Structure 1
Amino acid sequence: MVRGIGRGGGARDAVVAFLAFFLLACLQAPGLVVPDTKYDLVADPLRFLAQATHLWTGLSFSGQVQNQVYGYLFPQGPFFALFDLVGLPDWLTQRLWWAVLLTVAYVGTVRVAAALRIGTRGTRAVAGVAYALAPRMLGDLGSISSEIWPVALAPWVLLPVVRVLQGRMSPRRGGAGAALALALMGAVNAVATAAACLPAILWWAMHRPNRTWARLAAWWVPLSLAVCAWWAVPLVLLGWVSPPFLDHIESASVTTRWSSVTEVLRGAATWVPFVSVDRVAGAALTSEPAFVLATGVLAAAGVVGLLRAGMPARG
Protein backbone atom coordinates (compact mmCIF):
# COMPACT_ATOMS: atom_id res chain seq x y z
CA MET A 1 0.00 0.00 0.00
CA VAL A 2 1.20 3.51 -0.77
CA ARG A 3 2.90 5.10 2.17
CA GLY A 4 0.71 7.57 4.04
CA ILE A 5 -2.65 5.94 3.39
CA GLY A 6 -2.26 2.81 5.43
CA ARG A 7 -5.07 2.06 7.84
CA GLY A 8 -3.27 3.38 10.91
CA GLY A 9 -1.89 6.65 9.61
CA GLY A 10 -4.85 7.26 7.32
CA ALA A 11 -7.39 6.73 10.10
CA ARG A 12 -5.52 9.02 12.49
CA ASP A 13 -5.24 11.73 9.85
CA ALA A 14 -8.95 11.47 9.10
CA VAL A 15 -9.89 11.76 12.79
CA VAL A 16 -7.63 14.78 13.27
CA ALA A 17 -9.05 16.40 10.14
CA PHE A 18 -12.61 15.74 11.28
CA LEU A 19 -12.02 17.25 14.72
CA ALA A 20 -10.37 20.32 13.19
CA PHE A 21 -13.19 20.81 10.68
CA PHE A 22 -15.83 20.26 13.37
CA LEU A 23 -14.22 22.90 15.58
CA LEU A 24 -14.04 25.28 12.63
CA ALA A 25 -17.71 24.65 11.82
CA CYS A 26 -18.82 25.15 15.44
CA LEU A 27 -17.08 28.52 15.58
CA GLN A 28 -19.39 29.80 12.84
CA ALA A 29 -22.53 31.33 14.43
CA PRO A 30 -22.38 28.99 17.46
CA GLY A 31 -25.76 27.99 18.82
CA LEU A 32 -27.64 29.16 15.74
CA VAL A 33 -29.19 27.23 12.86
CA VAL A 34 -28.33 28.87 9.55
CA PRO A 35 -30.45 28.62 6.38
CA ASP A 36 -28.45 25.83 4.75
CA THR A 37 -30.38 24.25 1.88
CA LYS A 38 -33.74 23.55 3.56
CA TYR A 39 -34.62 24.83 7.03
CA ASP A 40 -37.23 22.13 7.62
CA LEU A 41 -34.60 19.47 6.88
CA VAL A 42 -32.91 20.59 10.10
CA ALA A 43 -35.98 21.50 12.16
CA ASP A 44 -38.16 18.48 11.38
CA PRO A 45 -36.28 16.00 9.18
CA LEU A 46 -38.73 13.12 9.53
CA ARG A 47 -41.67 15.19 8.33
CA PHE A 48 -39.51 16.65 5.58
CA LEU A 49 -38.52 13.19 4.35
CA ALA A 50 -42.15 12.05 4.41
CA GLN A 51 -43.01 14.96 2.13
CA ALA A 52 -40.02 14.17 -0.10
CA THR A 53 -41.70 10.98 -1.28
CA HIS A 54 -44.27 13.06 -3.19
CA LEU A 55 -43.80 15.36 -6.18
CA TRP A 56 -46.50 17.70 -4.85
CA THR A 57 -46.69 19.41 -1.48
CA GLY A 58 -49.47 21.53 -0.02
CA LEU A 59 -47.28 22.88 2.78
CA SER A 60 -45.61 25.64 0.75
CA PHE A 61 -47.40 28.68 -0.66
CA SER A 62 -50.71 27.44 -2.11
CA GLY A 63 -49.16 24.12 -3.04
CA GLN A 64 -46.33 23.43 -5.44
CA VAL A 65 -44.31 20.83 -7.31
CA GLN A 66 -41.17 20.10 -5.31
CA ASN A 67 -37.88 20.51 -7.13
CA GLN A 68 -35.71 17.38 -6.70
CA VAL A 69 -36.65 17.05 -3.02
CA TYR A 70 -36.50 13.26 -3.39
CA GLY A 71 -32.72 13.72 -3.56
CA TYR A 72 -32.68 14.28 0.20
CA LEU A 73 -33.92 10.75 0.85
CA PHE A 74 -30.28 9.60 0.84
CA PRO A 75 -27.86 10.33 2.39
CA GLN A 76 -28.41 13.87 3.75
CA GLY A 77 -31.96 13.35 4.99
CA PRO A 78 -31.29 10.17 7.01
CA PHE A 79 -28.20 11.86 8.52
CA PHE A 80 -30.29 14.69 9.96
CA ALA A 81 -33.10 12.32 10.94
CA LEU A 82 -30.72 10.08 12.89
CA PHE A 83 -29.31 12.88 15.01
CA ASP A 84 -32.77 14.36 15.47
CA LEU A 85 -33.90 11.05 16.94
CA VAL A 86 -30.98 10.93 19.39
CA GLY A 87 -31.75 14.48 20.53
CA LEU A 88 -28.69 16.32 19.28
CA PRO A 89 -29.34 20.08 19.04
CA ASP A 90 -30.23 21.15 15.52
CA TRP A 91 -27.31 23.55 15.16
CA LEU A 92 -24.81 20.87 16.23
CA THR A 93 -26.25 18.39 13.73
CA GLN A 94 -25.80 20.99 11.04
CA ARG A 95 -22.18 21.63 12.04
CA LEU A 96 -21.55 17.88 12.23
CA TRP A 97 -22.79 17.54 8.65
CA TRP A 98 -20.43 20.27 7.53
CA ALA A 99 -17.51 18.60 9.28
CA VAL A 100 -18.30 15.25 7.65
CA LEU A 101 -18.52 16.92 4.24
CA LEU A 102 -15.17 18.69 4.63
CA THR A 103 -13.49 15.55 5.98
CA VAL A 104 -14.73 13.44 3.08
CA ALA A 105 -13.34 16.01 0.64
CA TYR A 106 -10.01 16.19 2.48
CA VAL A 107 -9.43 12.45 2.84
CA GLY A 108 -10.49 11.72 -0.74
CA THR A 109 -8.02 14.26 -2.11
CA VAL A 110 -5.19 12.93 0.05
CA ARG A 111 -5.85 9.37 -1.08
CA VAL A 112 -5.98 10.25 -4.77
CA ALA A 113 -2.67 12.11 -4.46
CA ALA A 114 -1.15 9.16 -2.62
CA ALA A 115 -2.42 6.68 -5.22
CA LEU A 116 -0.79 8.78 -7.94
CA ARG A 117 2.37 9.11 -5.81
CA ILE A 118 2.18 12.88 -5.92
CA GLY A 119 4.04 14.74 -3.20
CA THR A 120 4.74 13.72 0.38
CA ARG A 121 2.42 13.05 3.27
CA GLY A 122 2.68 16.70 4.31
CA THR A 123 2.06 18.19 0.88
CA ARG A 124 -0.86 15.83 0.31
CA ALA A 125 -2.39 17.10 3.53
CA VAL A 126 -1.98 20.66 2.29
CA ALA A 127 -3.67 19.70 -0.98
CA GLY A 128 -6.51 18.06 0.94
CA VAL A 129 -7.10 21.18 3.02
CA ALA A 130 -6.93 23.37 -0.09
CA TYR A 131 -9.58 21.24 -1.79
CA ALA A 132 -11.84 20.99 1.25
CA LEU A 133 -11.66 24.75 1.87
CA ALA A 134 -11.70 25.84 -1.77
CA PRO A 135 -13.91 28.82 -2.70
CA ARG A 136 -16.47 26.45 -4.24
CA MET A 137 -16.79 24.67 -0.90
CA LEU A 138 -16.73 27.64 1.46
CA GLY A 139 -19.03 29.68 -0.75
CA ASP A 140 -21.88 27.16 -0.48
CA LEU A 141 -21.17 25.38 2.81
CA GLY A 142 -23.57 27.39 4.95
CA SER A 143 -26.16 28.08 2.29
CA ILE A 144 -26.61 25.03 0.07
CA SER A 145 -24.24 22.29 1.21
CA SER A 146 -26.30 19.69 -0.66
CA GLU A 147 -24.75 20.95 -3.91
CA ILE A 148 -21.15 20.61 -2.72
CA TRP A 149 -21.62 17.16 -1.21
CA PRO A 150 -21.05 15.62 -4.69
CA VAL A 151 -17.92 17.79 -5.02
CA ALA A 152 -16.63 16.30 -1.76
CA LEU A 153 -17.20 12.79 -3.11
CA ALA A 154 -15.69 13.41 -6.55
CA PRO A 155 -12.21 12.17 -5.47
CA TRP A 156 -13.80 8.96 -4.20
CA VAL A 157 -15.23 8.20 -7.64
CA LEU A 158 -11.82 8.88 -9.18
CA LEU A 159 -9.77 6.86 -6.66
CA PRO A 160 -10.90 3.31 -7.62
CA VAL A 161 -10.63 4.18 -11.31
CA VAL A 162 -7.02 5.26 -10.78
CA ARG A 163 -6.21 2.07 -8.88
CA VAL A 164 -7.78 -0.22 -11.47
CA LEU A 165 -5.87 1.40 -14.33
CA GLN A 166 -2.68 1.09 -12.28
CA GLY A 167 -3.30 -2.64 -11.94
CA ARG A 168 -3.70 -2.38 -8.17
CA MET A 169 -7.41 -3.24 -8.02
CA SER A 170 -9.68 -5.56 -9.95
CA PRO A 171 -12.10 -3.98 -12.45
CA ARG A 172 -15.03 -5.45 -10.54
CA ARG A 173 -14.00 -3.88 -7.23
CA GLY A 174 -13.06 -0.64 -8.93
CA GLY A 175 -16.34 -0.34 -10.79
CA ALA A 176 -18.26 -1.13 -7.61
CA GLY A 177 -16.23 1.38 -5.61
CA ALA A 178 -16.82 4.18 -8.11
CA ALA A 179 -20.53 3.35 -8.26
CA LEU A 180 -20.75 3.32 -4.46
CA ALA A 181 -19.28 6.82 -4.26
CA LEU A 182 -21.81 7.91 -6.88
CA ALA A 183 -24.63 6.35 -4.87
CA LEU A 184 -23.56 8.29 -1.77
CA MET A 185 -23.86 11.60 -3.63
CA GLY A 186 -27.63 11.54 -3.64
CA ALA A 187 -29.37 13.76 -6.18
CA VAL A 188 -30.53 17.04 -4.69
CA ASN A 189 -29.00 18.50 -7.84
CA ALA A 190 -28.69 15.92 -10.60
CA VAL A 191 -26.33 18.11 -12.63
CA ALA A 192 -23.97 18.47 -9.66
CA THR A 193 -23.98 14.70 -9.22
CA ALA A 194 -23.19 14.09 -12.89
CA ALA A 195 -20.49 16.77 -12.95
CA ALA A 196 -18.75 15.22 -9.96
CA CYS A 197 -18.16 12.08 -12.03
CA LEU A 198 -16.37 13.93 -14.82
CA PRO A 199 -12.82 13.70 -13.36
CA ALA A 200 -13.10 9.92 -13.15
CA ILE A 201 -14.63 9.66 -16.63
CA LEU A 202 -11.90 11.83 -18.12
CA TRP A 203 -9.18 9.83 -16.36
CA TRP A 204 -10.61 6.61 -17.76
CA ALA A 205 -11.08 8.09 -21.25
CA MET A 206 -7.50 9.35 -21.48
CA HIS A 207 -6.02 5.88 -21.01
CA ARG A 208 -5.30 3.59 -23.90
CA PRO A 209 -8.08 1.01 -24.29
CA ASN A 210 -7.13 -2.51 -23.24
CA ARG A 211 -8.79 -5.43 -21.54
CA THR A 212 -8.65 -3.89 -18.05
CA TRP A 213 -9.99 -0.58 -19.39
CA ALA A 214 -12.94 -2.33 -21.03
CA ARG A 215 -13.67 -4.59 -18.04
CA LEU A 216 -13.73 -1.57 -15.74
CA ALA A 217 -16.32 0.12 -17.95
CA ALA A 218 -18.32 -3.11 -18.13
CA TRP A 219 -18.70 -3.08 -14.34
CA TRP A 220 -18.72 0.66 -13.69
CA VAL A 221 -21.37 1.80 -16.18
CA PRO A 222 -24.21 -0.64 -15.35
CA LEU A 223 -23.59 -0.38 -11.61
CA SER A 224 -23.66 3.42 -11.84
CA LEU A 225 -26.92 3.34 -13.77
CA ALA A 226 -28.39 0.96 -11.20
CA VAL A 227 -27.53 3.13 -8.19
CA CYS A 228 -28.99 6.20 -9.92
CA ALA A 229 -32.33 4.59 -10.80
CA TRP A 230 -33.98 5.58 -7.50
CA TRP A 231 -33.66 9.29 -8.32
CA ALA A 232 -33.54 9.18 -12.14
CA VAL A 233 -37.15 7.95 -12.40
CA PRO A 234 -38.55 10.73 -10.15
CA LEU A 235 -36.44 13.23 -12.10
CA VAL A 236 -38.14 12.18 -15.35
CA LEU A 237 -41.55 12.48 -13.68
CA LEU A 238 -40.61 15.93 -12.40
CA GLY A 239 -39.67 16.96 -15.93
CA TRP A 240 -43.10 15.93 -17.16
CA VAL A 241 -45.09 18.02 -14.67
CA SER A 242 -42.83 20.98 -13.94
CA PRO A 243 -42.80 24.18 -16.01
CA PRO A 244 -39.37 25.36 -17.26
CA PHE A 245 -38.85 27.61 -14.24
CA LEU A 246 -35.05 27.66 -14.59
CA ASP A 247 -35.43 29.67 -17.79
CA HIS A 248 -36.71 32.51 -15.63
CA ILE A 249 -34.42 32.30 -12.59
CA GLU A 250 -31.19 30.58 -13.70
CA SER A 251 -30.78 31.00 -17.43
CA ALA A 252 -27.50 29.95 -19.03
CA SER A 253 -26.56 33.56 -19.74
CA VAL A 254 -26.78 34.35 -16.03
CA THR A 255 -25.15 31.26 -14.59
CA THR A 256 -22.17 31.33 -16.96
CA ARG A 257 -21.57 35.07 -16.91
CA TRP A 258 -18.78 34.80 -14.33
CA SER A 259 -17.33 31.47 -15.50
CA SER A 260 -14.05 32.87 -16.78
CA VAL A 261 -10.93 30.70 -16.88
CA THR A 262 -9.56 32.55 -13.85
CA GLU A 263 -12.68 32.00 -11.76
CA VAL A 264 -12.90 28.35 -12.77
CA LEU A 265 -9.28 27.76 -11.74
CA ARG A 266 -9.88 29.56 -8.45
CA GLY A 267 -12.92 27.40 -7.82
CA ALA A 268 -15.15 30.47 -7.68
CA ALA A 269 -17.21 30.17 -10.85
CA THR A 270 -20.54 29.75 -9.04
CA TRP A 271 -22.70 32.71 -10.01
CA VAL A 272 -24.76 33.31 -6.85
CA PRO A 273 -22.01 34.88 -4.66
CA PHE A 274 -21.43 37.48 -7.38
CA VAL A 275 -24.99 38.79 -7.03
CA SER A 276 -25.89 37.99 -3.41
CA VAL A 277 -24.13 39.15 -0.25
CA ASP A 278 -26.16 36.67 1.83
CA ARG A 279 -23.51 34.05 1.15
CA VAL A 280 -20.92 35.83 3.26
CA ALA A 281 -17.92 33.62 2.52
CA GLY A 282 -18.74 33.34 -1.16
CA ALA A 283 -19.21 37.09 -1.53
CA ALA A 284 -15.89 37.77 0.21
CA LEU A 285 -14.05 35.25 -1.97
CA THR A 286 -15.37 36.90 -5.12
CA SER A 287 -15.03 40.56 -4.14
CA GLU A 288 -12.32 41.05 -1.50
CA PRO A 289 -8.95 41.66 -3.24
CA ALA A 290 -6.95 39.80 -0.59
CA PHE A 291 -9.02 36.63 -0.94
CA VAL A 292 -9.10 36.84 -4.73
CA LEU A 293 -5.32 37.24 -4.84
CA ALA A 294 -4.65 34.43 -2.36
CA THR A 295 -6.88 31.93 -4.15
CA GLY A 296 -5.49 33.05 -7.51
CA VAL A 297 -1.93 32.40 -6.35
CA LEU A 298 -2.97 28.98 -5.04
CA ALA A 299 -4.61 28.13 -8.38
CA ALA A 300 -1.51 29.27 -10.27
CA ALA A 301 0.69 27.10 -8.06
CA GLY A 302 -1.53 24.13 -8.87
CA VAL A 303 -1.25 24.74 -12.61
CA VAL A 304 2.54 25.05 -12.36
CA GLY A 305 2.66 21.79 -10.43
CA LEU A 306 0.63 20.00 -13.08
CA LEU A 307 2.99 21.23 -15.79
CA ARG A 308 6.14 19.99 -14.06
CA ALA A 309 7.99 17.37 -16.08
CA GLY A 310 8.30 15.10 -13.06
CA MET A 311 4.59 15.08 -12.27
CA PRO A 312 3.39 11.44 -12.08
CA ALA A 313 0.86 10.42 -14.74
CA ARG A 314 1.53 13.64 -16.64
CA GLY A 315 0.93 12.08 -20.01
Structure 2
Amino acid sequence: MHPAPSLIVFTTLSGLGFGLMAFLGIDPPAKGGWVMAVFAALALALAGAGLVASLWHLGHPERAWKALSQWRSSWLSREGVLAMATMAVFGLHAALIVLAGTQVALLGWLAALLAVATVVATGMIYAQLRAIPRWHSPLTPLLFVLYALAGGALLAGQVTVGGWLLLALGAAQLAGWHLGDGALAASGTTAETATGLGHLGRVRLLESPHTGRNYLLDEMVFRVGRKHAAKLRLIAFALAVALPAAIALLTEPHHLLGGVLVLSHVAGTVVARWLFYAQAEHVVGLYYGARARA
Protein backbone atom coordinates (compact mmCIF):
# COMPACT_ATOMS: atom_id res chain seq x y z
CA MET A 1 0.00 0.00 0.00
CA HIS A 2 1.02 3.61 -0.49
CA PRO A 3 2.96 4.76 2.61
CA ALA A 4 1.11 8.01 3.30
CA PRO A 5 3.25 10.44 5.36
CA SER A 6 0.24 11.37 7.50
CA LEU A 7 -0.23 7.78 8.64
CA ILE A 8 3.48 7.34 9.35
CA VAL A 9 3.50 10.51 11.47
CA PHE A 10 0.26 9.49 13.17
CA THR A 11 1.28 5.98 14.18
CA THR A 12 4.79 7.03 15.22
CA LEU A 13 3.92 10.07 17.34
CA SER A 14 0.71 8.75 18.87
CA GLY A 15 2.45 5.51 19.81
CA LEU A 16 5.23 7.41 21.57
CA GLY A 17 2.73 9.66 23.32
CA PHE A 18 0.48 6.90 24.62
CA GLY A 19 3.49 4.75 25.52
CA LEU A 20 4.85 7.62 27.61
CA MET A 21 1.45 8.07 29.25
CA ALA A 22 1.47 4.41 30.25
CA PHE A 23 4.76 4.77 32.13
CA LEU A 24 3.89 8.14 33.65
CA GLY A 25 0.61 6.69 34.87
CA ILE A 26 2.29 3.79 36.66
CA ASP A 27 5.50 5.49 37.78
CA PRO A 28 5.43 9.31 37.57
CA PRO A 29 8.67 11.27 38.12
CA ALA A 30 9.67 11.60 41.76
CA LYS A 31 11.55 14.90 41.30
CA GLY A 32 8.55 17.18 41.71
CA GLY A 33 5.36 18.32 40.09
CA TRP A 34 6.95 20.53 37.46
CA VAL A 35 9.01 17.66 36.13
CA MET A 36 5.77 15.74 35.78
CA ALA A 37 4.27 18.77 34.04
CA VAL A 38 6.99 18.71 31.38
CA PHE A 39 6.71 14.96 30.80
CA ALA A 40 2.90 15.09 30.75
CA ALA A 41 2.92 17.99 28.30
CA LEU A 42 5.29 16.01 26.05
CA ALA A 43 3.07 12.92 26.18
CA LEU A 44 -0.10 14.86 25.41
CA ALA A 45 1.63 16.85 22.65
CA LEU A 46 2.93 13.70 20.94
CA ALA A 47 -0.42 11.93 21.15
CA GLY A 48 -2.31 15.04 20.08
CA ALA A 49 0.02 15.74 17.16
CA GLY A 50 -0.32 12.15 16.02
CA LEU A 51 -4.11 12.31 16.10
CA VAL A 52 -4.13 15.60 14.21
CA ALA A 53 -1.82 14.07 11.59
CA SER A 54 -4.31 11.25 11.10
CA LEU A 55 -6.89 13.83 9.97
CA TRP A 56 -4.70 14.69 6.98
CA HIS A 57 -5.54 11.30 5.52
CA LEU A 58 -9.27 11.99 5.51
CA GLY A 59 -11.05 13.39 2.50
CA HIS A 60 -13.24 15.50 4.80
CA PRO A 61 -11.42 16.07 8.12
CA GLU A 62 -14.33 18.18 9.38
CA ARG A 63 -16.46 15.01 9.51
CA ALA A 64 -14.01 13.05 11.65
CA TRP A 65 -16.27 13.36 14.67
CA LYS A 66 -18.83 11.13 12.97
CA ALA A 67 -16.46 8.16 13.17
CA LEU A 68 -16.76 8.17 16.96
CA SER A 69 -20.37 7.01 16.79
CA GLN A 70 -19.47 3.60 15.31
CA TRP A 71 -17.55 2.26 18.32
CA ARG A 72 -19.67 -0.91 18.47
CA SER A 73 -18.35 -2.20 15.16
CA SER A 74 -15.35 -0.08 14.11
CA TRP A 75 -11.84 -0.30 15.52
CA LEU A 76 -11.17 3.15 14.08
CA SER A 77 -14.05 4.53 16.11
CA ARG A 78 -12.92 2.64 19.23
CA GLU A 79 -9.44 4.07 18.80
CA GLY A 80 -10.85 7.61 18.73
CA VAL A 81 -13.02 7.07 21.81
CA LEU A 82 -10.20 5.39 23.74
CA ALA A 83 -7.74 8.12 22.75
CA MET A 84 -9.99 10.87 24.10
CA ALA A 85 -10.72 8.90 27.28
CA THR A 86 -7.01 8.24 27.80
CA MET A 87 -6.00 11.85 27.37
CA ALA A 88 -8.78 13.01 29.73
CA VAL A 89 -7.90 10.52 32.48
CA PHE A 90 -4.17 11.06 32.08
CA GLY A 91 -4.65 14.83 32.06
CA LEU A 92 -6.52 14.60 35.38
CA HIS A 93 -3.84 12.28 36.80
CA ALA A 94 -1.08 14.70 35.81
CA ALA A 95 -2.99 17.77 37.01
CA LEU A 96 -3.45 16.29 40.48
CA ILE A 97 0.27 15.63 40.75
CA VAL A 98 1.34 19.01 39.38
CA LEU A 99 -1.22 21.25 41.09
CA ALA A 100 -2.02 19.37 44.29
CA GLY A 101 1.00 17.14 44.78
CA THR A 102 -1.37 14.18 45.02
CA GLN A 103 -0.86 10.89 43.22
CA VAL A 104 -3.94 8.71 42.88
CA ALA A 105 -2.50 5.32 42.00
CA LEU A 106 -5.79 3.94 40.71
CA LEU A 107 -6.18 6.89 38.35
CA GLY A 108 -2.65 6.44 37.06
CA TRP A 109 -3.14 2.73 36.42
CA LEU A 110 -6.42 3.47 34.64
CA ALA A 111 -4.64 5.99 32.40
CA ALA A 112 -1.92 3.43 31.65
CA LEU A 113 -4.42 0.69 30.78
CA LEU A 114 -6.40 3.05 28.56
CA ALA A 115 -3.19 4.12 26.81
CA VAL A 116 -2.28 0.52 26.01
CA ALA A 117 -5.86 -0.20 24.92
CA THR A 118 -5.71 2.78 22.55
CA VAL A 119 -2.56 1.44 20.90
CA VAL A 120 -4.13 -2.03 20.64
CA ALA A 121 -7.13 -0.46 18.89
CA THR A 122 -4.77 1.27 16.45
CA GLY A 123 -3.13 -2.05 15.65
CA MET A 124 -6.50 -3.77 15.26
CA ILE A 125 -7.50 -1.28 12.56
CA TYR A 126 -4.91 -3.02 10.41
CA ALA A 127 -5.02 -6.53 11.86
CA GLN A 128 -8.73 -6.91 11.02
CA LEU A 129 -8.13 -6.41 7.28
CA ARG A 130 -8.33 -9.86 5.70
CA ALA A 131 -7.67 -8.29 2.28
CA ILE A 132 -4.11 -7.52 3.43
CA PRO A 133 -2.75 -10.88 4.69
CA ARG A 134 0.53 -9.34 5.90
CA TRP A 135 -1.41 -7.26 8.42
CA HIS A 136 -4.05 -9.87 9.25
CA SER A 137 -2.10 -11.32 12.19
CA PRO A 138 -1.94 -11.07 16.00
CA LEU A 139 1.61 -9.81 15.54
CA THR A 140 0.31 -6.52 14.15
CA PRO A 141 -1.28 -5.15 17.36
CA LEU A 142 1.55 -6.72 19.39
CA LEU A 143 4.12 -4.78 17.37
CA PHE A 144 2.18 -1.54 17.79
CA VAL A 145 2.13 -2.08 21.56
CA LEU A 146 5.82 -2.98 21.78
CA TYR A 147 6.87 0.03 19.71
CA ALA A 148 4.74 2.27 21.92
CA LEU A 149 5.94 0.84 25.23
CA ALA A 150 9.60 0.69 24.21
CA GLY A 151 9.54 4.30 23.00
CA GLY A 152 7.53 5.40 26.01
CA ALA A 153 9.97 3.76 28.42
CA LEU A 154 12.94 5.48 26.78
CA LEU A 155 11.20 8.88 26.86
CA ALA A 156 10.25 8.36 30.52
CA GLY A 157 13.85 7.61 31.46
CA GLN A 158 13.09 3.95 32.21
CA VAL A 159 16.19 2.96 30.26
CA THR A 160 16.69 -0.59 31.54
CA VAL A 161 13.02 -1.48 31.11
CA GLY A 162 13.14 0.12 27.68
CA GLY A 163 16.16 -1.98 26.75
CA TRP A 164 14.38 -5.23 27.55
CA LEU A 165 11.29 -4.05 25.72
CA LEU A 166 13.48 -3.29 22.71
CA LEU A 167 14.75 -6.87 22.71
CA ALA A 168 11.15 -8.15 22.77
CA LEU A 169 10.31 -5.69 19.99
CA GLY A 170 13.24 -6.91 17.91
CA ALA A 171 12.14 -10.54 18.19
CA ALA A 172 8.54 -9.66 17.31
CA GLN A 173 9.61 -7.47 14.39
CA LEU A 174 11.83 -10.18 12.89
CA ALA A 175 8.97 -12.67 13.26
CA GLY A 176 6.56 -10.20 11.68
CA TRP A 177 8.79 -9.67 8.67
CA HIS A 178 9.45 -13.39 8.22
CA LEU A 179 5.82 -14.45 8.49
CA GLY A 180 4.57 -11.43 6.57
CA ASP A 181 6.68 -12.27 3.52
CA GLY A 182 4.73 -15.48 3.04
CA ALA A 183 1.35 -14.26 4.29
CA LEU A 184 -0.22 -13.63 0.89
CA ALA A 185 0.84 -17.04 -0.42
CA ALA A 186 -0.29 -18.73 2.81
CA SER A 187 -3.71 -17.07 2.59
CA GLY A 188 -4.54 -19.17 -0.45
CA THR A 189 -5.73 -16.13 -2.40
CA THR A 190 -4.48 -16.14 -5.98
CA ALA A 191 -5.43 -14.72 -9.36
CA GLU A 192 -7.24 -18.01 -9.93
CA THR A 193 -9.38 -17.74 -6.78
CA ALA A 194 -9.90 -13.99 -7.29
CA THR A 195 -11.33 -14.46 -10.78
CA GLY A 196 -12.99 -17.84 -10.20
CA LEU A 197 -11.20 -19.22 -13.25
CA GLY A 198 -8.86 -21.58 -11.47
CA HIS A 199 -10.61 -24.64 -12.95
CA LEU A 200 -9.32 -23.56 -16.34
CA GLY A 201 -5.69 -23.48 -15.22
CA ARG A 202 -3.22 -20.74 -14.43
CA VAL A 203 -4.61 -17.24 -14.92
CA ARG A 204 -2.40 -14.53 -16.39
CA LEU A 205 -3.00 -10.89 -17.16
CA LEU A 206 -3.74 -10.23 -20.82
CA GLU A 207 -4.39 -6.49 -20.58
CA SER A 208 -4.39 -4.08 -17.67
CA PRO A 209 -7.87 -3.40 -16.21
CA HIS A 210 -7.23 0.33 -16.72
CA THR A 211 -5.54 2.41 -19.39
CA GLY A 212 -4.16 4.88 -16.85
CA ARG A 213 -3.41 5.42 -13.18
CA ASN A 214 -6.29 5.29 -10.71
CA TYR A 215 -6.93 5.25 -6.98
CA LEU A 216 -6.43 1.51 -6.63
CA LEU A 217 -3.06 1.59 -8.35
CA ASP A 218 -1.91 4.63 -6.37
CA GLU A 219 -3.07 3.42 -2.95
CA MET A 220 -3.37 -0.38 -3.00
CA VAL A 221 -0.75 -1.67 -5.46
CA PHE A 222 2.32 0.17 -4.26
CA ARG A 223 5.53 -1.80 -4.85
CA VAL A 224 8.93 -1.71 -3.18
CA GLY A 225 11.78 -3.82 -4.53
CA ARG A 226 13.11 -6.71 -2.44
CA LYS A 227 16.63 -5.32 -2.52
CA HIS A 228 15.48 -1.93 -1.22
CA ALA A 229 13.20 -3.54 1.35
CA ALA A 230 16.08 -5.61 2.72
CA LYS A 231 18.26 -2.52 3.11
CA LEU A 232 15.46 -0.57 4.78
CA ARG A 233 14.76 -3.44 7.17
CA LEU A 234 18.40 -3.47 8.21
CA ILE A 235 18.34 0.30 8.77
CA ALA A 236 15.05 0.12 10.71
CA PHE A 237 16.25 -2.73 12.92
CA ALA A 238 19.63 -1.13 13.59
CA LEU A 239 18.18 2.27 14.50
CA ALA A 240 14.96 1.24 16.25
CA VAL A 241 16.23 -1.82 18.12
CA ALA A 242 19.91 -2.78 18.00
CA LEU A 243 21.61 0.56 18.70
CA PRO A 244 19.25 1.82 21.42
CA ALA A 245 19.11 -1.63 23.10
CA ALA A 246 22.91 -1.78 23.21
CA ILE A 247 23.10 1.71 24.69
CA ALA A 248 20.33 1.00 27.20
CA LEU A 249 21.58 -2.37 28.45
CA LEU A 250 25.36 -2.13 28.07
CA THR A 251 26.03 1.44 29.22
CA GLU A 252 24.79 3.96 31.73
CA PRO A 253 23.58 6.67 29.35
CA HIS A 254 23.78 10.30 30.46
CA HIS A 255 21.40 12.93 29.13
CA LEU A 256 23.20 13.43 25.82
CA LEU A 257 23.55 9.71 25.13
CA GLY A 258 19.96 9.22 26.27
CA GLY A 259 18.88 11.74 23.65
CA VAL A 260 20.80 9.83 20.97
CA LEU A 261 19.09 6.64 22.14
CA VAL A 262 15.61 8.16 21.79
CA LEU A 263 16.32 9.83 18.44
CA SER A 264 17.75 6.60 17.03
CA HIS A 265 14.67 4.65 18.09
CA VAL A 266 12.29 7.24 16.64
CA ALA A 267 14.19 7.36 13.32
CA GLY A 268 14.14 3.57 13.09
CA THR A 269 10.45 3.50 13.91
CA VAL A 270 9.71 5.89 11.04
CA VAL A 271 11.57 3.61 8.61
CA ALA A 272 9.79 0.54 9.98
CA ARG A 273 6.43 2.28 9.64
CA TRP A 274 7.20 3.18 6.02
CA LEU A 275 7.92 -0.47 5.33
CA PHE A 276 4.78 -1.50 7.21
CA TYR A 277 2.67 0.29 4.62
CA ALA A 278 4.90 -0.11 1.56
CA GLN A 279 5.12 -3.92 1.85
CA ALA A 280 1.43 -4.50 2.55
CA GLU A 281 0.15 -6.44 -0.45
CA HIS A 282 -3.59 -5.87 -0.97
CA VAL A 283 -5.29 -8.78 -2.73
CA VAL A 284 -6.70 -6.34 -5.30
CA GLY A 285 -3.18 -6.37 -6.74
CA LEU A 286 -3.93 -9.84 -8.12
CA TYR A 287 -6.12 -8.17 -10.75
CA TYR A 288 -3.07 -6.18 -11.88
CA GLY A 289 -0.75 -9.10 -12.35
CA ALA A 290 0.76 -9.22 -8.83
CA ARG A 291 1.80 -12.68 -7.63
CA ALA A 292 2.20 -14.04 -4.14
CA ARG A 293 5.82 -14.55 -3.18
CA ALA A 294 6.75 -18.16 -2.60
TM range, normalised to the smaller chain? Answer: under 0.3
State TM-score, norm by structure 2: 0.27
Structure possessing the higher radius of gyration over alpha carbons: 2
Structure with the bigger percentage of helix? 2
Structure with greater contact order relative to length (CA < 8 Å, sep ≥ 6): 2
